[in-house]
Structure 1
């Protein structure tokens, strides 16, 4: 746990160890999809359409089908451009449609399902590496039963991003720097928050470099033949990590003719930006001007306080630096964005290290207590997810 450079996980049977957690994850997601299907049928809606052909899913499939350049001009003057959506998911949708009979929407759904399993496995791998297999299994189940867990099964990019981020972080923890950088670059092609993965790789690499300069090998001895090769791989990983996000952002700037920061103008057309949380604070404060809206305000305040508390607990429990950097940036970008307040729970979905303190507590509990709690929360999550997606607004 304290030497990210040399600790490796070459133990056999990685999938076998993760299998119980993955089966539990699949069961929770199946319950959520069943609840969505039943709720949607009762309202004469298509659950599959809600998962694959509404809100952001439509923007991704348009990119896959038509490429970039599509935009919607709203009466108020705002311009919603599909350049706001990063390209990896549409590329995979196009690939899936090219090699199978699936439509772009179908391919996006399949990608999300497979990516959600890969993400669950990555979360298990990270948690197992740091705290052990039992905590790893609990972390996966907690990620599955999040109130917004149904997004993991949608043709959105959250599952794909979380899978890439989790495995990149695992590669950092096990000293696989080139793999970490490559996965970070792919995460940067998936969502703007790929910045968090790059920052985690860089922070851990800098600390590892400092330790190698001062202390040598993990056993305290110097390894002159090994250190240069490790240092070269670490440097290569650092160089690879930002290429995905930087490449796309620079390409958008070139395409729009607005230079390196052109992507920010694209986001401004969606009324989205980073204001340090001022707009979100005003949104929450406005809830307290009437009743029962004040109850929602209380819920938001409690929710944000819980997130901050979990992060502080993670710091106190000495989570690895890479996890803390990654989680901190994901939280900051989600909570301090100036628009789409209803989407903030979804934007926080990739911040899985926040669940590790809860997973540790759950792992210590007796099975006779833990199992009913997890099952009850899974049912509540399934019902809430069905209600949420059948609402009028985007998740």
Structure 2
């Protein structure tokens, strides 16, 4: 469904500049609103972004390595082995020459990774639908309600950058690059499996078409190495074998139950004074499923459909941390492509007004969210 000419080669900085500028503007707006809100509330933006919730776990890993755990009164064990190592490694890499704290180094990593993610999303959308749609896809992704996470010392921006460029490499037939980036994604978050699956499915389809090269085989072999290496290391460290990492996640209350626990959570809201929240959750789930249906209807490449489908399934069907589900959906950027294509057909001012309005709402919500109950 192209709306203008697709690029003939890799989109360089000049072609991607409007998308990067849009991303930076949305993120700066979010940070400005957060700063004003924190000034009124007497809180610290820096602390909220770099030294709360998951950020503390990543910073501790960067400082001390693995082995820290918290035993709750219920007997559940929260081990830092649940957190994948690439972000802490990068925090340590940035902190060493700069003297920054590990939390502040995490903010630097997220800022750079956010721009890389925006560039990668633009590259995919530009390739499939043209430059205008690419810019709008990035703006819509930056303006998601939980977009403030892109500016936190969290791993979402880093993972999305690796995933987006891996998918772009797949679409371009750069199999070794795709495999290496998928391996990096597998060292970043458990959902790295979605990138691996996307590479494998695309390679299998290309193989079936007769496009059989050594690079394709090498890329397919490289893709799972990151996730597999960490899972095997955790299994060896804990004595849990192949299921060691799943046991660690179970200690946090995480698992995959097909969405049953989430459905019960929504049902409890509907049967309580928080009825409106339950209705909102249902509306949000239906919106995500509708957007994915549009992706299928628009015949997005198989790699994007597989990647996005797995990200959505893992986010919606996990059994714990229901308040984090919007954040877990953040890497599912292909959901933005149908909206971006539709907006690209509008006049410029009308097309810009939609992500602009969403960016303002996102900025206010992000400030409210971080100064509220948390964690995201």
TM-score in same-fold range (> 0.5):
yes
**Counterparts of 1:360 and 1:391 in 2: how far apart (Å)?**
35
Q: Report the equivalent of 1:217.
A: none
Alignment of 1:171-320 (within 5 A): 171-212=169-210, 231-291=213-273, 293-320=274-301
Per the TM alignment, residue 9 of structure 1 is displaced from its structure 2 partner at its CA by 6.0
Q: In structure 2, what is the equivalent of residue 361 of structure 1?
A: 342
Deviations 1:227-261 (A, max 9, x none): 5xxx1000000000000000000000000011011
List per-residue Cα deviations over 1:72-130 (Å, max 9, x = no partner).
Answer: 00111010000000000000011111122211111110000000000000000000011
Task: Give the 3-state SS of the residue equivalent to 2:181 in structure 1.
Answer: helix
Residues 331-354 of structure 1 show CA distances to partners (whole Å, capped at 9, x for unaligned) of: 011000000000000000000000
Taking structure 1 as the reference length, what is the TM-score of the superposition?
0.92
Query: Which of 135, 158, 163 is the matching residue for 1:160?
Result: 158
Q: Distance in 1 between matches of 2:354 and 2:155?
A: 29
Contact 2:235 2:241 in 1 (8 A): yes
CA contact (8 A) 1:135 1:359 kept: yes
Unaligned stretches of 5+ in structure 1? 3-7, 214-226
The Cα shift of 1:372 comes to 2.5
How far residue 12 of structure 1 moved from its aligned partner, in angstroms, is 6.8
Higher mean Cα deviation, 45-54 or 375-384?
Answer: 375-384
The 8 Å contact of residues 11 and 123 in structure 2, kept in 1 or not, is answered as no
2:314 pairs with 1:333: yes
Deviation per CA, 1:169-228: give whole Å up to 9, x if none.
Answer: 000000000000000000000000000000000000000010016xxxxxxxxxxxxx5x
CA RMSD, 1 decimal: 1.4
Task: Report the Cα distance in structure 1 between the residues aligned to 2:90 and 2:352, rounded to whole angstroms.
Answer: 37
SS at match of 1:191: coil
- Alpha carbons 2:7, 2:130 under 8 Å: kept: no
Q: Secondary structure at the residue paired with 2:209?
A: helix
SS at 1:385's partner residue?
helix
CA contact (8 A) 1:9 1:174 kept: no
1:52-201 mapped onto 2 (5 Å cutoff): 52-201=50-199
Secondary structure of the 2:70 match is: strand
Partners of 2:284 and 2:348 lie apart in 1 by: 27
Which structure 1 residue ranges, 4+ long, deviate > 6 Å from structure 2? none
Greater shift, 168-177 or 16-25, is seen at 16-25
Task: Report matched runs for 1:372-387 at 5 Å.
Answer: 372-387=353-368
Helix, strand or coil at the partner of 2:360: helix
Aligned to 1:349: 330
Q: What does the per-residue CA deviation read over 1:273-320, in whole Å, with 9 as the maximum and x for residues that have no partner?
A: 1111000000001111123x1111111111111111111111110100
Determine which of 49, 52, 70 is the counterpart of 1:51.
49
Bigger radius of gyration among the two: 1
The aligned residue for residue 27 of structure 2 is 29
Report the equivalent of 1:216.
none
Q: Report the 3-state secondary structure (helix = DSSP H, G, I; strand = E; otherwise coil) of the residue aligned with 1:212.
A: coil
> How far did residue 13 of structure 1 move?
5.8
CA distance in 1, matches of 2:371, 2:305: 35
2:210 aligned counterpart, secondary structure: helix
**For this pair of structures, how many residues does the alignment match?**
373
- Cα 1:370–1:13, aligned 2, differ >3 Å: closer, same or farther? closer
CA–CA separation in structure 1 for the residues paired with 2:174 and 2:261: 40
Match in the other structure for 1:390: 371
Q: Write the distance in 1 (CA, Å) between the matches of 2:282 and 2:80.
A: 33
Gaps of 5+ in 2: none
Range with bigger deviation, 300-309 or 187-196:
300-309
Distance 1:233 1:269, change over 3 A: same
Quick one: structure 1 residues 9 and 365, their matched pair in 2 at CA, closer, same or farther if it must change by over 3 Å?
A: closer
